[in-house]
Every structure is written in C-alpha cells, then in structure tokens.
C-alpha cells in the first residue's frame, strides 16, 4: 500500500464555505483520501512512502474543466475575432479536416500539460480520434470524461457512431478508472432527430450519458425554431434526450421554460464564459439557472476560442460576468465560483462520488496553491484570495488519483520540450506554413 501525507497546508475541503482547516494534514492511501484532520491526527503517519510539507500553501480539490476540445491547442491563435459559424465553417473545420490521430495526440498532450500547470486535474473532452486523446490522458496521469464528437448531417455520421461505440467498449473505466466515456452528439442543429434516436439507443445499450452543445448562439435557436417549432432545449426534451444523464454545454440563449427543464432534468450545464464572450455568442443566464436549482460547472472550451485552459481565470471571469449582467454584485460569490469549478463540475460529469471534495472516501485529486506571493497578501478572506487574486502559476503541486504529477512546478509525467516541439511542427504543417 502506497501512503502519501500532505502536512501543514490550509485545507479548503469544498464541503462548505466554512469547511476550512487552518493547518492540517491529508493522508492518501493507494489513491484514496483516508484521513483529513489536524496535525498529527493521522494514524501511522510515521510510516509514509512520501511526505509533502505544505506550509504556506492551500490544499483544495483540483479544478474540473467541464467542457473543452483539448487538441484544439493546435489552433490557438489561428482563427481569432470571427463570429461562430464563420469561424467554424471557414477556418476551424477545414483545419481539423487535415488533422491526423497523431496530431490530436500531441495537441491533447499540450492541453494536459497546460491544465496540470494551472491546477486542472479532470476535464471533459469532445473531439475526433478519441483513442489518441485517451492515450494522452492515460500517459499524463490526468482524469477525463471523453466523448467522440458526432455530426449527424455529415456523410461521416455513421462512422462517428461506430467510433463512439468503440470508445465506450475500449476506454470506459480504463486508465485505473481515470477515464470515463459519454456520447457526444455535437448539437441539435448538426444532429437531426433520427440521428439522435441512434445516439439514445447507444446510450441505453452501454448505460452512458450524453454530452451536447445546446443553445450556444441566437442563430442556432432561430434555426431549431424554424425547423421544429421549439427552442433547442424544448426540442431535445420532446425527443426524450433528458431521460439520459445529459451534460449540456453553453446554454446561452434560454427562456424560462428552457431553464426549468434544464434545472429539473439535466445532469449538468457547462458554463463557458470566456469563449462565449470572445465569439460574441452571449452571456449564459447562470445566476437564474442556479436559482432554479440547476447544477452548473465551468468549462474553458477549446483554445481556439478562449485562448487558454486556465480555470482560475475562467471561474473569475464567470463570476464577474454574472455580476455585471445582472447588475447584482452578490451573485456567484467567491465560494460559489470555486464550487462550480470543483465539486459542481464533478457532478456535471457524473463524477461527484469520486472527486471534487477533500473528504475521506474520495479519490485524491488535490492541488497545492502557494499563498506567500504579494498578490495573495493580506489574507482577510482565503476563499476570495483564491477566486479573485490567485494566478495559475501559484499552483505548486498537483496530485491526481493519489499520484504526484507536478511537484514544485515540475511536471513529472510529461516531457515539456518534446510536447511543444511536436505541436509547433504539426501546427505549421496543418496551417500550410
């Protein structure tokens, strides 16, 4: 049995706003959190395989990025400042059409490197060549929920369904349980009802959830209303999609009935504030969704529309955007923003029984954040300092599934120079430079 002790940190357990241990210790045994308490309270602490001295640091659950397209690191900065449909049809989709499985592997490796260095321990991904994405997740030690993106209106729609089935058979529960699989129909405007029927049949067969973009733009809403006489959410509900665990990404343009359906029936909503701002898609009504009891996590989306995978930056922007859009400074306070980026994100992806809290019986996905830098001083409010002042570079150590993957800013599972070399070379080729 491997034993790891984190000692001396302030522990932000995320079990509640006041569930903070000022100086404590966390015992991890074979990847499980088996003790959280005051110094010296862990039995057998004299017999550890590894001890991390964490004075001056905060231990908290790793960030959970609910929605991204990891391999789009290859497109970072390639197609900026365009509206969504022009961005997709004229730039993104042609570029992606030239990508190979190896390109996607290395793009995902870069995303994992970036996420680890900014404190993300788990991410939800929708893309192509998902076997190669899964290899990257397995090799880097990250945790991920993976979905094969499926566009039903393309000639490749049937192949995408077959690929999704293979992904479920080969990777669900693999990498020591760090990889889970959901089905990924792209959106209601690219997946007609007969195609979504096939997706739902597959979901029933393999007992899988469904990860789908919903109501991201006004153009999408108008198109679905014109075709089916309903909003995207009401259209999906009428098809029976919400009988399955659904993670709905974006959800920007919703009416009250849409929000009630999502609050009552969706497993979770992935809020992507910076991508929605950059593409001028709009502001998701998250404050109202939360009032209605919806579970909302935070996603960065891909780096072609953000342009980074920094969850601290994302949760901060997400909080501020709700405040200014509602003209209410009390909505999405600091703790709620951190909650959305941790345990609520885990719930959105069906992982709330495993990660998102520092609690006995959970898997040990934990980050250590340095609080000794000038921008973290003074400490009137620890939670506010993390949510509103901390930087990605303050994340010193990252533990995923009980294994140290970054120690004192050195990533132990990835050759950084090799990854960046591979991505630079491949991005130039794909862009035709």
Q: What is the pLDDT of residues 269-280, one digit of tens each?
A: 999 999 999 999
CA-to-CA dists, residue 329 to 288, 298, 320, 325, angstroms: 14, 19, 8, 10
For residue 354, pLDDT over 60 is answered with yes
Per the CB < 8 A criterion, the answer to whether 221 and 182 are in contact is: no
148 is in an annotated binding site: yes
Known binder of ligand: residue 253? no
Residue-wise pLDDT for 59-73, tens only, equals 999 999 999 999 999
Q: Is 301 annotated as a binding residue?
A: yes
216 known ligand binder: yes
List the domains of the chain with CATH numbers: 3-62+354-411 (2.30.40.10), 64-348 (3.20.20.140)
From residue 227, give the alpha-carbon distance in Å to each of 123, 189, 232.
33, 9, 10
Answer whether residue 394 shows pLDDT above 90: yes
The dihedrals phi and psi of 76, each to the nearest 5 degrees, come to -60, 120
- 32-37 and 20-29 beta bridge pairing: antiparallel
Mean pLDDT for 327-335 is 98
131 assigned binding-site residue:
no
DSSP reduced 3-state for 80: coil
Rounded distance between C-alpha atoms, residue 24 and residue 41, angstroms: 9
CA atoms within a 13 Å half-sphere pointing along the CA-CB vector of 47: 5
Task: Give tens-digit pLDDT for 133-145.
Answer: 999 999 999 999 9
67 labeled binding residue: yes
Cα angle: 371, vertex 299, 36; to 5 degrees: 45
pTM (predicted TM-score): 0.97
> Which pLDDT does position 85 carry in this prediction?
82
Residues in a beta bridge with 146: 125, 181
């Amino acid at each position: 049995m491997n034993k790891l002790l984190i000692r001396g940190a302030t522990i932000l357990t995320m079990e509640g706003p006041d569930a903070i241990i000022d100086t404590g210790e966390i015992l991890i045994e074979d990847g499980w959190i088996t003790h959280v308490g005051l110094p010296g309270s862990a039995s057998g602490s004299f017999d550890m395989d590894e001890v991390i001295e964490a004075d001056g640091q905060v231990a908290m659950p790793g960030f959970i990025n609910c929605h991204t397209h990891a391999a789009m690191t290859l497109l970072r900065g390639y197609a900026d400042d365009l509206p969504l449909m022009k961005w997709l049809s004229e730039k993104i989709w042609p570029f992606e059409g030239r990508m190979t499985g190896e390109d996607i592997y290395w793009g995902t490796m870069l995303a994992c490197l970036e996420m680890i260095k900014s404190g993300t321990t788990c991410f939800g991904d929708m893309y192509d060549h998902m076997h190669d994405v899964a290899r990257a997740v397995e090799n880097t030690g990250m945790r991920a929920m993976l979905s094969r993106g499926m566009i039903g209106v393309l000639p490749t729609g049937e192949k995408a369904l077959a690929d999704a089935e293979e992904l479920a058979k080969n990777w669900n529960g693999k990498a020591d349980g760090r990889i889970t699989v959901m089905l990924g129909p792209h959106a209601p405007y690219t997946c007609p009802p007969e195609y979504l029927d096939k997706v739902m049949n597959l979901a029933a067969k393999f007992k899988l959830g469904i990860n789908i973009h919903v109501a991201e733009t006004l153009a999408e809403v108008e198109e679905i209303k014109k075709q089916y006489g309903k909003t995207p959410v009401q259209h999906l509900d009428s098809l029976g999609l919400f009988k399955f665990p659904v993670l709905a990404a974006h959800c920007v343009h919703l009416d009250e009935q849409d929000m009630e359906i999502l609050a009552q029936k969706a497993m979770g909503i992935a809020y992507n504030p910076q991508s929605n701002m950059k593409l001028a898609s709009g502001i998701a009504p998250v404050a109202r969704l939360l009032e209605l009891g919806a579970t909302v996590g935070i996603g960065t989306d891909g780096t072609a529309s953000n342009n980074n995978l920094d969850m601290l930056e994302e949760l901060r922007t997400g909080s501020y955007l709700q405040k200014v859009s509602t003209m209410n400074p009390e909505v999405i306070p600091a703790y709620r923003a951190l909650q959305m980026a941790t345990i609520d994100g885990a719930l959105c992806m069906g992982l709330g029984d495993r990660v998102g809290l520092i609690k006995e019986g959970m898997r040990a996905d934990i980050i250590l954040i340095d609080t000794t830098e000038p921008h973290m001083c003074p400490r009137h409010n620890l939670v506010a300092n993390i949510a509103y002042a901390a930087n990605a570079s303050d994340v010193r150590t990252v533990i995923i599934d009980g294994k140290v993957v970054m120690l004192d800013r050195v990533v132990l599972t990835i050759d950084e120079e090799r990854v960046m070399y591979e991505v630079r070379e491949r991005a130039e080729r794909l862009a035709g430079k």
